[in-house]
Structure 1
Amino acid sequence: MRLADVIDVFIAGDWGNESPSEETPNAVYCVRGADIVPISIGEFGDIPLRYVSDKSFEEKTLRAGDMIVEKSGGSPTQSTGRVSYVSEALITEKGAVVCTNFCVAFRVKTGWNPYFVYQYWNHIYNNNIFFNFEGKTSGLKNLQLDNALKAIEIPDYTLEQQNRIAETLLKIEQKVLLNRAINHNLEAMAKQLYDYWFVQFDFPDENGKPYKSSGGKMVWNEKLKREIPKNWHSDNICLIADILSGGTPSKRINEYWNYGHIPFFGPTDYNGSMFQLQTVDKITESGLQHCSSSLFEENTIIITARGSIGKLVIVGTPMAMNQSCYALKSKNEEYEYLYFLTIQLIESLKTKGSGSVFKSIIASDIENTMLCVANKGIISLFCDKVSPIMRQIKKNTQEMIHLTKQRDELLPLLMNGQVSVNYDLADD
């Protein structure tokens, strides 16, 4: 069979309007290509809210089990054809969901398990099959979807076989999502401690009591226009970190990209994880030598400055980055405090830009933003407290990557009968 044989109906996209009107009164969340990766890991927060007509709302609202395919976009190492699964969780959290015009959604026929088809599509995509079905229009790559669907094969499994395979893969997926939920809770714990110490100023005094609540001395700071603890500083983040920039090697020179092994970070790689351990694009040693980005060490903080603005990640493995980002490298290797201080920096920049569109961050924005910076002893104590939490978050993230790799490698083995699952053991 071919992929075309399993599809019951296509649902076109609609970008709608930013605000409601008489013609477009219906609120929907519109899935873009940029949302495909976050949705796959259970992150729905950045899907934009749009407004569509009654006709579009009736005809284009998606339901659980539908799939969204990216028709335009991609990069030299990433083809079009990425797919997103519309889960019950997505519908429960967002309600009405459509896809953008650069995507198209489809629904499978009766007798096909949609989650099985979704995972099989991912298997095809990960094997770079969709590169064979791309054309270019004005520099933008477009998926020749009809040709792909008519050409790409899919085994004619019974629904029972599909269900067993889907159930096995779903169990791995659920473990990945559980790890992510644990990481969110761990990060919230570390953030709560940071706020208690560095926002409320109730860090331990010399007697181990909460500083401000126990009457610790506070002094007026003219730069910040508020009181801060004695011996703390009003300065920009450069007091404790160096600002570093990125750059992209020419995409017209193949030796900079082909068979690259150095992760190359851009804003679209952000997926909600605290630690960034892998990227879609990779460059070669030659590519690194011919761009203005350094190879950033582990525990460097990256800020996305254009595109998805103000997102933060901690470098979990050495990587380079493009010019749409800045990096902050702690001068004392105390990245834990720097990470949360950078969150305060972004919040301050957003507050200052509240009267206008927050379109980008430039180096002078970072350098001209005054922050309350703690003294060295309190910073070190905080880092000692939260470093086990941060290490566990990184460990969980590594496990998620391994599980995802295992899931992707397991699908073809399950499909051709090379492996089977002992469900008695699995249930234990």
Structure 2
Amino acid sequence: MNYKKIFGELPRNWTVGTLDQYAEVIDPHPSHRAPSEVSDGYPFLGIGDLDYYGNATFDKARHVGLEIIEEHEHNYKITETSIGYAKMGNTIGKVVSFPSRQGKTRFAVSPALSVINPNDQINPYYLRAVVESNAFWGQVNGKITGSTRPSIGIQQLRKILIPLPPEAIQERIGEIWKAIYDKISVNTNINDNLQQQAAALFANFYDHAETEVGFTEIIQILGGGTPKTGESSYWNGNVPFFTPKDVGLPYTLSTEKTITEEGLAHCNSRLYPVNTVFVTARGTVGKVGLPGVPMAMNQSCYALVGKETHQLLVYFYTLKAVDRLKHKASGAVFDAITTRDFESEIIMKLSDEDAQGFLDVAEPIYQAVLSNSIENLRLAALRDSLLPKLMSGEIDVFDIQL
């Protein structure tokens, strides 16, 4: 493959090699079968255990036995500089950061992931920046096979081309990438902590509530719709179009698809404001999130709006209701939520005094969460626009001030 078609004209003292020259690319799951789950074991990190920014978390991971853990630790050799790369399914190309093993829980990883362990010929943070780049993805995308379950073979992944600048430039690009990544991680951890505080406070008030009400007595259920897909004037506009793929933690700020004002006028969705509660009803069922900017929504979701009930209370009441619906479906396939499901739900309504006490704390918390989420989106955009120019030599890395 002609590297100039991928990277353009590189500086003279840069070289180009394949990924397997600079890293061990490991695929310890030739069968692509996930191990059996156990009730009391160790976390098994899958694609569903990644946050919005690709960090793997233990919160809702399945659990596996010690023999699986030992096998994975032997095969994967995960360290703090290891890079996870999703190699199959709808998340192919997702780049994963693993939790540190230093004093932390032992864990195994999904067969949907390959692990890339940099060697001493390349700066590990520079390699991470390359693996996240559009140039890397463009090569992967050209090697994907399969339509119903797309994937890239491990041998194909190993032969992806990597531009290699002198060591000092690698180190500087790695420093810039890590500075941005660390700031995103700090904001993400702050948001996680803030949300845990709000959830604990709500649970305390909820457990002491004495008034039972029907869910739909205080919360209105609204729907969405999709403009005609064949009408080009309806699509690729400035209106975010929320689908189950777009659920954030908790805020969604950008969506995979967008529609135009004309498209919005020709579908069954309103333009829902910030803090409307979105619930995925089909496909990926039972995810609950909040739009961080006004957006439309497709028919696979519900929009929940309070009837004189604050939207943050609607959010937490909805989490309670959806959790109950999931428990009711235990042992059965939880493949859809209907309006009747919500109509049959009973929740405990906080007293006016407790509701105000909760909101006095929760409102500034979620304003901070939204602000941090917006900053993370800006940082990610800066990373995605700046790093390609640094890696091509278009911008001098030593002109960048962190």
2:110 to 94, 99, 117: 99
Q: Which moved more, 1:156-165 or 1:44-53?
A: 44-53
Cα shift at 1:401: 1.2
Determine the C-alpha separation between the residues in 1 that align with 2:246 and 2:72.
31
Moved more, 298-307 or 54-63: 54-63
The aligned counterpart of 2:150 is: 141
Q: Give identity over the alignment, percent.
A: 27
Which structure has the greater CA radius of gyration?
Answer: 1
Q: Could you list the runs of 5+ residues in structure 2 that have no partner in the other structure?
A: 1-15
1:364–1:148 CA distance, 2 compared to 1 (3 A): same
Residue correspondence of structure 1 range 5-404 to structure 2 within 5 A: 5-13=21-29, 14-19=32-37, 29-32=44-47, 34-38=48-52, 40-41=54-55, 43-50=57-64, 57=72, 60-64=75-79, 65-74=81-90, 80-88=92-100, 93-100=104-111, 102-124=112-134, 130-137=140-147, 139-143=148-152, 150=159, 153-201=161-209, 228=210, 233-248=211-226, 253=230, 255=232, 259-271=236-248, 273-285=249-261, 287-288=263-264, 291-332=267-308, 334-354=310-330, 356=332, 358-374=334-350, 379=355, 382-404=358-380
**2:385 corresponds to which of 409, 420, 425:** 409
1:302 and 1:327 in contact (8 A); partners too: yes
Hey, what's the Cα distance between the residues in 1 that align with 2:54 and 2:226?
A: 27
Given the superposition, is the C-alpha separation of residues 322 and 118 from structure 1 closer, same or farther in structure 2, using an over 3 Å criterion? farther
Q: Deviations over 1:173-229 (max 9, x none)?
A: 11212112222232233333333433224xxxxxxxxxxxxxxxxxxxxxxxxxx2x
Q: For the residues of structure 2 that align with 1:127 and 1:61, how far apart are their CA atoms?
A: 23
Contact 2:86–2:93 (CA under 8 A) maintained in structure 1: yes
One-letter identity of the residue aligned with 1:335: Q
| In structure 1, C-alpha distance between the alignment counterparts of 2:58 and 2:226, rounded to whole Å | 29
Extract unaligned runs of 5+ from structure 1: 202-227
Bigger mean CA deviation after superposition, 126-135 or 384-393:
126-135
Distance 2:74 2:193 in 1: 38
Cα separation, 2, equivalents of 1:191 and 1:247: 31
TM-superposed CA distance for 1:58, in Å, is: 6.4
The structural deviation recorded for 1:394 is 1.1
Corresponding position of 2:11? none
State the alpha-carbon separation in 2 of the partners of residues 193 and 412 from structure 1: 44
**Are the aligned partners of 1:255 and 1:286 in contact in 2 as well (CA < 8 Å)?**
no
CA distance in 1, matches of 2:132, 2:216: 43
Is the partner of 1:234 in helix, strand or coil? strand
Task: Write the letter of the residue equivalent to 1:81.
Answer: G
Secondary structure of the structure 2 residue equivalent to 1:190: helix
Question: C-alpha distance in 1, partners of 2:275/2:41?
Answer: 44
- Considering only aligned residues, what root-mean-square deviation do their CA atoms show, in Å? 3.7
Amino acid at match of 1:261: N
Deviations 1:351-382 (A, max 9, x none): 43446554443221111011122455654564
Aligned length: 381
CA gap of 1:37–1:350, structure 2 versus 1, over 3 A, is closer
Aligned CA distance change for structure 1 residues 54 and 132 (closer, same or farther; 3 Å): closer
Q: Structure 1 residues 98, 2: CA separation in 2 closer, same or farther (over 3 Å shift)? A: same
Contact 1:30 / 1:50 at 8 angstroms: preserved in 2?
A: no
Distance in 1 (CA, whole Å) between partners of 2:61 and 2:228 is 31
> Counterparts of 1:107 and 1:248 in 2: how far apart (Å)?
43
**Match of 2:34, as an amino acid?**
G
SS of the residue aligned with 1:317?
Answer: coil
CA-CA distance at 1:296 after TM superposition = 1.9
Deviation at 1:319, TM superposition (A): 1.8
Aligned amino acid, residue 110 of structure 2: C
Is this contact kept in 1: 2:43–2:107, CA < 8 A?
yes
Per the alignment, in what secondary structure is the counterpart of residue 81 of structure 1?
A: coil
Cross-structure match for 1:208:
none
Q: Structure 2 CA distance, aligned partners of 1:308 and 1:331?
A: 27
State the shift of 1:126 in Å.
8.7
Secondary structure of the corresponding residue to residue 198 of structure 2: helix
Q: What is the DSSP-based 3-state SS (H/G/I as helix, E as strand, rest coil) of the residue aligned with 2:236?
A: coil
Aligned equivalents of 1:285, 1:108: Cα separation in 2: 47
Structure 1 residues 280-319: Cα deviation after superposition (integer angstroms, max 9, x where no partner): 3334446545654433222200123345543321211122
CA 1:324–1:126 in structure 2 vs 1: closer, same or farther (change >3 Å)? farther
Query: Which shows bigger deviation, 48-57 or 242-251?
Result: 48-57
When residues 98 and 383 of structure 1 are mapped into structure 2, their CA distance, relative to the original with a 3 A threshold, is: closer
Shift of 1:235: 2.0
Note if contact 2:180-2:383 (Cα within 8 Å) is conserved in structure 1.
Answer: yes
Paired letter, 2:118: V
Task: Give the residue type in structure 2 aligned to 1:244.
Answer: L
1:263 partner SS: strand
Aligned mates of 2:247, 2:305 — CA distance in 1: 19
